[in-house]
Amino acid sequence: MTPATRQKVLGLYRKVLQIAKNWHSASGQIEETMRDKEYIRNEARTLFRKNKNVTDPKLIKQCIEECEARIEIGLHYNIPYPRPIHLPPMGLAHKQGRTLRHQEKLRKISKPIYLKSHDEIS
């Protein structure tokens, strides 16, 4: 990892922790705010530690883009949790063969960038 990339990653980590520190839930309830803050800190810790040994520049770039997207979406919607995608659950595929594999491949490709790591840790 280049020094510039390292600085960018550390900056993102600090930014996420600062967001967690200043977070206020949409409902204004103290309990919900505390849960949201804890979720943000735990999610950041988990994902950053999971990816600390990544050396592939393309994968590092994807992780940075995902982090930036999740920050922007979380701040915009005031929801720290990843927003779900609404795709029909394998509604058109047969239960076997090429069609199912093809639809699974399309589903994986169509997943938004901000949800790439969510399924891996939840």
Indicate the pTM of the whole model. 0.72
d(CA 111, CA 94): 21
Total Cβ atoms within 10 A of residue 58: 8
Domain ranges of the chain: 3-86
Ranges 16-20, 21-25, 44-48, 69-73: which has the least confidence: 69-73
Indicate whether 122 pLDDT > 50: no
| Strands (E) located in 1-122 | none
Q: Which of 109, 19, 26 is nearest to 67 (CA)?
A: 19
Q: Which two tokens stand for residue 80?
A: 């720290």
Please tell me the predicted confidence (pLDDT) of residue 81: 84
pLDDT tens string 79-117: 888 766 555 555 545 555 555 676 677 666 666 666 667
